[in-house]
């Protein structure tokens, strides 16, 4: 439920890991290239790896990462182009940093998902955003999963989820069903790797599909699978009150994606409940949806959630009438699953617009 790159702390840890790796590689080079009977050493010679991972480049990367999170949490959508320029500049100096690629991909995905906030957006610019996001997430995933790392390195299992969902959205936008299928395969792998988080991406990839389609049923079931993974048991589908499981809350480890105590997506719990509640309404399960909407108030910071009025207005509305809009075979009038016109901000933003 921690929905966009929980990367600031990971990025700093990865930067430290890469610096340690540079030292280790440099030491290995000395062993490999030391020739008995000679006094020559490579210790004082600069290599491309040392140059790209020098202290100045690391500081540039850290500043770009911090700037991204400040803008993201600050709901400063108009600042996205400036953040992108800063991330791109950092990548020119630190081209093997997966966090930079991931956050740059996230910036395009954010811009794509909330394009109604851009008065100059066009259908082509929207397509360009999602088209740019896919290879950036792929590069981040490849560097993280298949790059050379020191023993003990922990892969970021959020990344396959981001790659998969952007592949599906690009395929849907361009009516490329082969790409959609490939994205679904990546999403299935990502949900296997990190069910607490990436099942939400499987949902988000297909939550606009017809309510009676197999793909929608699978998407909605993915949200249940996420909750089951978080609770360590099967949640009651008819009465999904999460009150009995609140003692499991944690701000650390993989399970922090389940709850409201993380600092990178401080309102992901509320956003998840909004999506699940709306998804159940679409499926005609109105009583369960009411319980899910009420779950959102268990969040530690619900009172400060900038978008709480959206959830409350839906929960207090005529849910039967809302469900009927999904059942009339006219997708143009289907209410959105999240906050209207918003994609990332309603889980990540700490302030209103």
Q: What pLDDT does residue 51 have?
A: 61
Q: How confident is the model at residue 40 (pLDDT cuts 50, 70, 90)?
A: very low
* Ramachandran angles phi, psi of 336, nearest 5°: -70, 160
pLDDT score at 184: 98
Q: Is pLDDT larger for residue 7 or for residue 262?
A: 262
Q: What is the DSSP letter of 285?
A: -
Instruction: Please give the backbone phi and psi of residue 29, each rounded to the nearest 5 degrees, phi first.
Output: -60, -40
Q: Give percent of the chain above pLDDT 70.
A: 85
Q: In angstroms, rounded to a whole number, what is the distance separating the alpha carbons of residues 111 and 117? A: 9
The pLDDT value given to residue 19? 33
| pLDDT 10s digits, 159-180 | 999 999 999 999 999 999 999 9
Q: What is the pLDDT of residue 2?
A: 46
pTM of the model: 0.84
> pLDDT over 90 for what percent of the chain?
82
pLDDT of residue 189: 98
- pLDDT above 50: residue 209: yes
- What pLDDT band is residue 329 in, cutting at 50, 70 and 90? confident
Residue-level pLDDT at 218: 98
Token duo for residue 7: 């990367």
pLDDT given for residue 261 in this prediction: 81
pLDDT value of residue 178: 98
Residue 119 clears pLDDT 80, i.e. is over it: yes
Is a pLDDT exceeding 60 seen at residue 55?
Answer: yes
Residues 6+ apart with CB under 8 A from 254: 157, 194, 196, 197
The span from the CA of 305 to the CA of 19, in Å, is: 38
Q: What is the mean pLDDT of the chain?
A: 88
Is the pLDDT at 278 greater than 90? The verdict is yes
93-104: pLDDT as tens digits = 999 999 999 999
107 touches 80 (CB < 8 A): yes
Long-range contacts of residues 205-209, Cβ cutoff 8 Å, at least 24 apart: 205/164, 205/165, 205/168, 205/169, 206/168, 207/275, 207/279, 207/337, 208/331, 208/334, 208/337
């Amino acid at each position: 439920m921690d929905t966009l790159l929980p990367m600031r702390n990971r990025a700093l840890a990865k930067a430290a890991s890469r610096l340690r790796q540079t030292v280790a590689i440099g030491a290995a080079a000395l062993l490999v290239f030391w020739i008995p009977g000679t006094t020559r050493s490579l210790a004082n010679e600069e290599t491309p790896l040392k140059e790209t991972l020098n202290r100045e480049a690391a500081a540039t990367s850290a500043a770009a990462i911090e700037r991204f999170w400040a803008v993201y949490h600050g709901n400063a959508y108009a600042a996205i182009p400036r953040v992108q320029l800063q991330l791109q500049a950092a990548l020119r100096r630190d081209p093997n940093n997966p966090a930079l690629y991931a956050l740059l991909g996230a910036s395009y995905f954010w811009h794509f998902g909330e394009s109604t906030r851009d008065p100059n957006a066009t259908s082509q610019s929207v397509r360009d955003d999602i088209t740019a996001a896919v290879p950036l997430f792929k590069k981040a995933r490849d560097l993280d999963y298949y790059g050379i790392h020191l023993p003990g390195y922990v892969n970021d299992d959020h990344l396959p989820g981001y790659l998969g969902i952007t592949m599906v959205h690009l395929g849907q936008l361009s009516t490329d069903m082969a790409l959609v299928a490939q994205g679904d395969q990546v999403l299935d792998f990502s949900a296997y790797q990190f069910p607490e988080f990436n099942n939400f991406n499987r949902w988000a990839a297909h939550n606009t599909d017809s309510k009676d389609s197999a793909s929608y049923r699978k998407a909605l079931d993915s949200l249940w699978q996420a909750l089951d993974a978080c609770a360590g048991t099967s949640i009651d589908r008819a009465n999904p009150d999460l009150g009995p499981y609140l003692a499991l809350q944690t701000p650390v480890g993989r399970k922090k994606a389940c709850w409201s105590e993380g600092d990178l997506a401080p309102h992901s719990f509320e956003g998840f409940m909004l999506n699940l509640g709306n998804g159940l309404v679409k499926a005609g399960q109105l009583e369960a949806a009411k319980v899910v909407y009420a779950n959102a108030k268990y969040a530690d910071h619900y009172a400060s959630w900038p978008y709480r009025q959206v959830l409350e207005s839906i929960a207090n509305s005529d849910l039967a009438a809302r469900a009927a809009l999904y059942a009339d075979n006219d997708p143009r009038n289907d209410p959105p699953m999240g906050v209207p016109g918003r994609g990332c901000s309603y889980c990540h933003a700490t302030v209103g617009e």
